[in-house]
Chain A
């Protein structure tokens, strides 16, 4: 893999460490960290800072019986751990977990573009996108921040080129039309904090072909 050039920002890593990030972004952070040594180290530094803050907290008084209950529970068998999906091909473990261990079931958006929605709730949505070489990524008009992690191939837009492992962080002000590079199809993990809006996902040209 070529050197990763586009990384997560410090605030995103800090918010992930602190547990205050919408789940759709968490997925992109976890997937990028799975691929990127540098961001793994930076996340570790934020967790160290979190631990240092934890050490300095005044602490809250505990119920009288809690300590005995915890000590008594040490002998109980640990709760059965759920099977953790492993990395499979281009998909790092957290993406495989979101796929529930199965290969993607692509839905055609038209123009050869395909997607699978991995997660959608009021806080945001995450999806896998499959873009054939030379084709434009659907203009999805995200309302807030959009994170796009390249899992295979590459794409380019007016801000530059993004290869495998790179993450593009696009604010609402960025009107971009990423185009998949020539080569293998570009497969991306994309997350926004806007609620899922299907009409906004469709490239304008393709809209007549795609109705839900």
Chain B
């Protein structure tokens, strides 16, 4: 997915020096304790995003921009915006990524899904000129990042991309149209049946994570 290994140099090694037990002990007193799993288990985008979140790293942000901005513009234009408005959306989304980086949690959502959600919400808010109804955020108090969970999310991204690549072209087109907002819910119901099944199997992981999280909150 991110072929350029020259860009993959770890941007923030501080946390790697901290044994996980220490990080755990410190987690309560700090806004974020970073326990990076091994570098190979983490995508470039995740590393860049963590460097932005924890180090306000502009070089890492520039990498994220180069990776996501053209895709975000494509997404906005598929949503029916002209090129100029689509770039307004790109700018707005990328600045939201910068400003809301503290909310990024690689154990909850991969970077691509986090950016996708921000883009959707911003695009709708800008089109409607009013805030979109959003679910409540889960209250996460000092939940220390779980490297196994981050690894599971990374795997999930790979699995989904692999599943997309293996779909027959027509099926893949339908899934693309569905997630680019080109199908209504009734069209999704009518047209995506089989292809949608490929993501259903991924729900279990998310469910287990949430149950785990809620147990910790109690």
- Residues of A with Cβ closer than 8 Å to B? 9-12, 14-15, 17-21, 23, 25-27, 29-31, 33-34, 37-38, 40-63, 66-67, 69-71, 73-74, 78, 82, 87, 92-94, 97-98, 145
Q: Which residue of A lies closest to B76 (CB)?
A: A60
What secondary structure prevails in chain A residues at the interface with B?
A: helix
**Chain B's nearest CB lies how many Å from the CB of A81?**
9
14 pairs from A and B in contact (CB 8 Å cutoff):
A14-B185, A21-B184, A25-B185, A34-B136, A49-B160, A50-B120, A51-B114, A55-B71, A55-B112, A59-B74, A69-B91, A70-B69, A71-B62, A93-B135
Contacts of B196 in A (CB 8 A): 10-11, 14
Q: Which residue of B lies closest to A94 (CB)?
A: B133
Contacts of A66 in B (CB 8 A): 69, 87, 90-91
> Are B116 and A50 in contact (CB-based, < 8 A)?
yes
- B93-150 residues with Cβ-Cβ distance < 8 A to A are 94-95, 98-99, 108-117, 119-121, 123-124, 128, 131-136, 138
B73 contacts partner chain A, Cβ-Cβ < 8 Å: yes
B161 contacts partner chain A, Cβ-Cβ < 8 Å: yes
> Are B178 and A51 in contact (CB-based, < 8 A)?
no
A20, A31, A57, A59 — most chain B CB neighbours (10 Å): A20
Cα distance A49–B196 when bound, in Å?
A: 10
- Residues of B with Cβ closer than 8 Å to A? 1, 58, 61-62, 65-66, 68-75, 77, 79, 83, 86-87, 90-91, 94-95, 98-99, 108-117, 119-121, 123-124, 128, 131-136, 138, 156-157, 160-161, 164-165, 175-176, 178-186, 188-189, 192, 196, 199-200, 202-203, 206-207, 209-211, 214
**Chain B's nearest CB lies how many Å from the CB of A172?**
11
Q: Which residue of B lies closest to A58 (CB)?
A: B74
Q: Contacts A30-B135, A73-B91: A11 and B185 contacting too (C-beta < 8 A)?
A: yes
Q: Contacts A10-B200, A37-B214, A57-B74: A48 and B185 contacting too (C-beta < 8 A)?
A: no
> Are A60 and B136 in contact (CB-based, < 8 A)?
no
Cα distance A14–B120 when bound, in Å?
A: 12
Contacts of B68 in A (CB 8 A): 54
Contacts of A51 in B (CB 8 A): 109-116, 157, 160
Q: Which residue of B lies closest to A13 (CB)?
A: B185
Cα distance A20–B132 when bound, in Å?
A: 12
Q: Which residue of A lies closest to B195 (CB)?
A: A49
> Are B181 and A19 in contact (CB-based, < 8 A)?
yes
Cα distance A57–B73 when bound, in Å?
A: 10
> Are B160 and A14 in contact (CB-based, < 8 A)?
no
Contacts of B120 in A (CB 8 A): 17-19, 50
> Are A52 and B112 in contact (CB-based, < 8 A)?
yes
Q: Which residue of A lies closest to B214 (CB)?
A: A37
> Are B180 and A60 in contact (CB-based, < 8 A)?
no
Contacts of A58 in B (CB 8 A): 74
> Are A42 and B203 in contact (CB-based, < 8 A)?
yes
**Chain B's nearest CB lies how many Å from the CB of A185?**
24
Contacts of B117 in A (CB 8 A): 17, 47, 50
> Are B114 and A27 in contact (CB-based, < 8 A)?
no
Cα distance A97–B132 when bound, in Å?
A: 10
Contacts of B83 in A (CB 8 A): 60
Q: Contacts A50-B120, A67-B69: A98 and B214 contacting too (C-beta < 8 A)?
A: no
Q: Contacts A26-B132, A40-B210: A14 and B192 contacting too (C-beta < 8 A)?
A: yes
> Are B87 and A62 in contact (CB-based, < 8 A)?
yes
Cα distance A79–B193 when bound, in Å?
A: 41
